[in-house]
Structure 1
Amino acid sequence: MEKHSNIKNIVVAILTPLPSILFYLSFLHNHSSSPRSNIWSFCYEHPLLLANILFFFNVDLFFWLIGLLLSNNWLIDLYWTVIPVLLVHYFSSHPNSKSNSLRSTIAIVLTWVWSIRLTHNYFRREKWEWGKREDWRFSDMRKQYGKNWWWISFFAVYLSQQVFIIGICLPMFAIHASDQPCGIYDLVALVTCITSITVAYFADTQLHEFVTRNETSKKLSMPVIANLETGLWRYSRHPNYFGEQLFWWGLYLFAWNLGYTWMFVGPLVNSMCLGYVTVLVERRMVEKEYRAEAYRQYQKSTSVWIPWFKGSKIDEIKEKSM
């Protein structure tokens, strides 16, 4: 039964983005032969608006309907790791785009590496099963809103994701709207993005190994470790979140270098949202009695996001400087 469900969810995941992909391929095929007189003219002149329209109908509406049918909103979790890849290729291949080929290639490669890392972590966390469970935040809201969840989910799960995903991907549009030569700030952006992916990979791997060890201990009726405080987690309570946010701020540096300074709103809104998620996660951490006290002590001594010395180490530094 579980194998059948897994296959069904794989098919659903593969088919769901096809409406947007097929429409865009049709546009690429027809726009040059039907110029300026129909829908293809609109698609050519407004690439960013078109991306939002396709997102609204294919993700917001279509994914929402599928979520209602399945009583599970797992698709948006998976496609959070895929949509940025689709968007960077959309902007790079759009007939109205212009870009520096090196900068465009760097952006595409970085997005693919980011996506592969996050997709791998998603399936590793889900034990390589497709759609078995939805994000715990959505499950909690499902219980909270009860009978009203069917329509609230459209805004809370899908329309909000359009704001976040399109927002953080705005630099991809900027990169493919200017052919300005590469400079030192592009190098800074590249190093920032590579650093962010590295930090996030090691943080998520350390967390996965910690969770796996505890699961094994439970099966063997052995004591579990209350809290992860080694590796990157010694210096930050959420180094995986820090790495993830750093990637989008690094990508923004490409846009800032090209004069699109206003695009900071994308990573800023996303960081604010993740700040709220951080609060929710930490509330969950202290709900379980076996780890509550250990985590409260961890909160007192360890930085929230940005890796930094533990509280005791900070005190030592202050004492030496006096």
Structure 2
Amino acid sequence: MKMNLKNAVIAIVAPLPTLFFYVSFLGYCGDHDCHNSNDTSIWNWCYHHPLLLANILFFLNVNLLFWFIGLLQSSHWLIDVYWTVIPVLLVHYYATHPLAMFKYNPWRSRAVIMMTWVWGIRLSHNYFRREKWLWGAREDWRFTDMRRQYAQNWWWVSFFSIYLSQQVFLIGVCMPMYVIHSVDKPWDFWDFVAVVVCITGIVVAYHADTQLHNFVTENCKLKELGKPVVPNLDKGLWRYSRHPNYFGEQLWWWGLGIFGWNLGCAWTFVGSFINSMCLAYVTVLVERRMLEQDYRAEAYRVYQETTSAWIPWFKSSPKGGKDKNT
């Protein structure tokens, strides 16, 4: 209980340096003309370089401070919690920066801010539901595997593999948020398309994660009763996709990319593409892990043969026979 409370306090306090600095910057710009080229203060520099400032704050507060906390605790759990929070902080940062250009058409900004909050709440809820509502009970299993792999070098490898890489990834995948608040253009048809794609992604991911949570919970109950567990989830959305939660997550980021493309910045799709490539790699790791578990290996091989990896689709026949589930 004490550890849980301590980690909750750490999670709440961890971003305060950035929040305090940014509020001070906004206060200064409210009282002074930051656009004045004769102003040589750090606040004037922050005014003219919003994207670079976001990266510097991320590097100092997340990369260095979170990494240091992870070293002290021998667990890099904090970045998992903030994976769902940082995009929310970024969209508000871009929206409130004095150079934001959406004053004449605020609907796109409002829509993206609202959807980002819904996305963040959904993902945070899924994280804490999976962790039994505990703060920092464990770190991501991939980090634990890398910790064993790099052994005594993990203390410095973790900085690059967990934190610096996360900066490139998170700032990159959130670039449509920057563009949305840097280009002022009337709302049009493609904005509706982007909203539909984003909301569909959130809904699909929520239902997929809920079905997975219920499956894991039921298996835990069966195990406690000494009964055989179900080797594989192939009901609901999982009947048509082996990773519908990843598919929903991709839709969310590709939907944001449509906003950027519609504002004349097609390069923002790079973040969505990198996200898809990362999820492809994670898919390989997850499925390899499934096949290493003896009680489910055979069933999962059949599942791989008959079920689409990401995009939901009808089942196909397994090699050497007909699909009994169709």
Calculate the TM-score normalised by the size of structure 2.
Answer: 0.94
Partner in structure 1 of residue 178 of structure 2: 173
Contact 2:305 2:317 in 1 (8 A): no
Q: 2:10 aligns with which of 12, 27, 37?
A: 12
Contact 1:185 1:253 in 2 (8 A): yes
Partner in structure 1 of residue 94 of structure 2: 91
Q: 1:121 aligns with which of 114, 121, 126?
A: 126
Instruction: Name the CA distance, whole Å, in 2 between partners of 1:44 and 1:246.
Output: 33
**Runs of at least 4 residues off by over 6 Å:** none
Which whole-Å deviations, capped at 9, do the CAs of 1:201-220 have from their partners, x for residues lacking one?
00000000000000000000
Partner in structure 2 of residue 71 of structure 1: 74
Alpha-carbon distance, 1:74 to partner: 0.3
Q: Look up the equivalent residue of 1:66 and give its one-letter code.
A: I
Contact 1:285 1:295 in 2 (8 A): yes
Instruction: Name the CA distance, whole Å, in 1 between partners of 2:200 and 2:271.
Output: 20
Which whole-Å deviations, capped at 9, do the CAs of 1:82-138 have from their partners, x for residues lacking one?
000000000000001111200000000000000010000000000000000000000
Instruction: Name the CA distance, whole Å, in 1 between partners of 2:197 and 2:119.
Output: 12
Alpha-carbon distance, 1:179 to partner: 1.4
Q: Look up the equivalent residue of 1:77 and give its one-letter code.
A: D
Instruction: Name the CA distance, whole Å, in 2 between partners of 1:270 and 1:192.
Output: 16
SS at 1:98 equivalent:
coil
Long gaps (5+) in structure 1:
317-322
Alpha-carbon distance, 1:175 to partner: 0.5
Q: Look up the equivalent residue of 2:10 and give its one-letter code.
A: V
Partner in structure 2 of residue 51 of structure 1: 54
* Number of aligned residues: 313
Which whole-Å deviations, capped at 9, do the CAs of 1:250-301 have from their partners, x for residues lacking one?
0111110000111111111111111111100000001110000000110011
SS at 1:312 equivalent:
coil
Alpha-carbon distance, 1:190 to partner: 0.3
Contact 2:231 2:295 in 1 (8 A): yes
Q: 1:300 aligns with which of 293, 296, 305?
A: 305
Partner in structure 2 of residue 212 of structure 1: 217
Instruction: Name the CA distance, whole Å, in 1 between partners of 2:33 and 2:207.
Output: 50
Kindly indicate whether residue 274 of structure 2 is the aligned counterpart of residue 269 of structure 1.
yes
SS at 2:317 equivalent:
helix
Alpha-carbon distance, 1:163 to partner: 1.1
CA RMSD of aligned residues (A): 1.3
Alpha-carbon distance, 1:34 to partner: 6.3
Partner in structure 2 of residue 319 of structure 1: none
Alpha-carbon distance, 1:10 to partner: 0.4
SS at 2:305 equivalent:
helix
Instruction: Name the CA distance, whole Å, in 1 between partners of 2:75 and 2:291.
Output: 27
Which whole-Å deviations, capped at 9, do the CAs of 1:156-212 have from their partners, x for residues lacking one?
110111111111110000000111000000000000011000100000000000000
Identity of aligned residues (%): 65
Partner in structure 1 of residue 63 of structure 2: 60
